[in-house]
Amino acid sequence: MERDPRLAPGGPGVTRWRPVSSRRLALLLAGALSAFAAQAASHVFLVQNSGWMEPFYTDPQSPYKALVTEVVQAAMQPGDALVLASFNQGVPGAPSPHALLAQKGKPDREKLRGVLDPLQVGRKPGGKAMADTDLGEAVGTAIDGALAGKPGLVWLFTNNRNSPNNDQATARRNREFYQLIHEGKAIRKALAFPLKMPVQGAQYRAGGLMVYVFAVQEQGVRELDALLAGGRLKQVITETPARLKPLDQDTVRLVPARVENTPGVRYTVLPGGRLRAELDADTPASGNARITWRLENAMYPYTIKQADITAQAALAGEMKPVALSPDAVRNLAPGRPQPLASSLGLPVANLPGKWSLAALSTAGSAQVLPGRIEVRLANQRLELSQAFRERMAELFPGDPLPDIFTPPAEIQHSRAVLPVEVRLRYGSGPLLAAIGGLFALLATGGALLVAATRGRKVLVTVDGEQRTLRTRAGAKTPLYNAAGDQVAELRTTLFGHQLANVHEGASVRLGK
């Protein structure tokens, strides 16, 4: 095995181990997914089979492989792409990860069982020693090789013992692994599902399993969020996911608990906690709304030990500060909301007037103006919640995992956004008045058109001879004397007739 002194992506100070044949393996996995780049999502499922995983493979009652099967089924849609691979630590003659299945489309359970059932604990070449573990190598190869840095989801099934070369300093190795997660730029979102899975093998015993999912690039984040929102994964894994990354976005939730309406404004709390403000354009709104919120910590398993909190509202193209009371957070644990009072005003002066095009186009209904409330936490200090520590101690007794979950010290600021909907109702009066004016204008135009195109009779006397001529508005009619010489011109407009270019000495007049 060669040791690569290069740093992991975005992870200064983290040494990365790369086996001699990993380049070839990366090309193999990349080729497996290259044909699926245009599909809905790409998934790489990494199933650990190192020596530390021995009880998960040898216990007859182990649900390990069944869990992998069901997670694959829940995570994938029919159009997705998949690489399923086992991993331990790559060495010459035994590369890791090792692709078990690569295909376009969602595999059925029978096919997954046929691939996973024969899988056993990995062995080092030339002996009976069980393979070691390198979590960073597995995740790095999946991102750089199988996905080739493109968007997708990387799933990792592990007992969380990271011990390359059977290194007993698992705490340090785990710390390197988490540094890769926090500082690696390719991973935009990371979740961990701690699961209770007691198994007894011939050599080892284990009480729990960790399932990670890493969203690569922003498209991967959207795919993961859609998967979680759809509830498919929740049917397989009922545990609340522990967030590893990001820790500076959507850290808190604002849920309106009580709203005091102000004159001219009606407030409603919509499903999902969105706030709607409805007002009539004919009824001027006044005053600020008093809103009591439930401030919820959305960063399980972290407690927000302390943070200063500010907020502002973006409504109708204007940013307005939101007064909060209190303006600080202390010991906000996951699942324990803190009441938060606020004063919110609508920028009425910036709303479209009742004679605006927007008002006329939505008369009798409502114009929807999207907005948002931004909450910012500064001087933020996070602490792993006691409940999570106790949970980890139960699943992984003696493991230093909770200390390794400590978030990076540089993450001291975060923000969250609450969508707000302003519905401005306009009466039908301005629209009816506009329609009436339009009809009047059309009627006037029609009358002018008729007048312009209607034929007219006019009596003209030339040298004492009376003549009746037919003409229309805009016409120029030449007038001749008895000798055939043009002596004048009759011009007709919407408003009458007139003689023009009358020759000297000619006797020409309108009428008799």
**Per-residue pLDDT tens over the stretch 352-361:** 554 445 444 4
> What pTM, to 2 d.p., does this model score?
0.71
Q: How far is the C-alpha of 19 from the C-alpha of 10, rounded, in Å? A: 20
The pLDDT of residue 475: 78
Q: How confident is the model at residue 347 (pLDDT cuts 50, 70, 90)?
A: low
Question: What is the chain's mean pLDDT, rounded?
Answer: 77
End-to-end CA distance of the chain: 122
Q: Which residues contact 247 (CB under 8 A, 6 or more apart)?
A: 299, 302, 382, 407, 408, 411, 414
- pLDDT, tens only, 239-269: 999 998 888 888 888 787 777 766 667 777 7
Q: How far apart are CA 258 and CA 224, in angstroms?
A: 32
Per-residue pLDDT, 169: 67
Quick: pLDDT tens for 278-330.
Answer: 766 655 555 577 778 888 888 889 888 888 988 888 776 677 888 888 888 89
Closest among 84, 47, 86 to 209, alpha carbons compared:
47
pLDDT at 255: 80
Task: Let me know: does 116 contact 101? Beta carbons within 8 Å.
Answer: no
Is the pLDDT score of 146 beyond 60?
yes
Q: Given a cut of 80, is residue 272 above it in pLDDT?
A: no
Contact 458, 510 (CB under 8 A): yes
Q: Answer yes or no: is pLDDT of 6 > 60.
A: no
Burial degree of 4 (CB within 10 A; 0-12, 13-18, 19+): middle
Lowest pLDDT segment from 92-106, 347-361, 494-508: 347-361
Confidence (pLDDT) at 260: 73
Please check the confidence at residue 38 and state whether its pLDDT lies above 50.
Answer: no
Cα separations in angstroms, 388 against 202, 295, 353, 402: 30, 20, 54, 8
Rounded to 10 degrees, the C-alpha dihedral 178/184/185/187 comes to -50
E strand spans, 168-221: 187-200, 205-216
Q: pLDDT, tens digit, for every residue of 398-426? A: 766 555 677 777 777 887 787 877 777 65
For residue 275, the model assigns a pLDDT of 75
Q: Check whether 100 has a pLDDT greater than 50.
A: yes
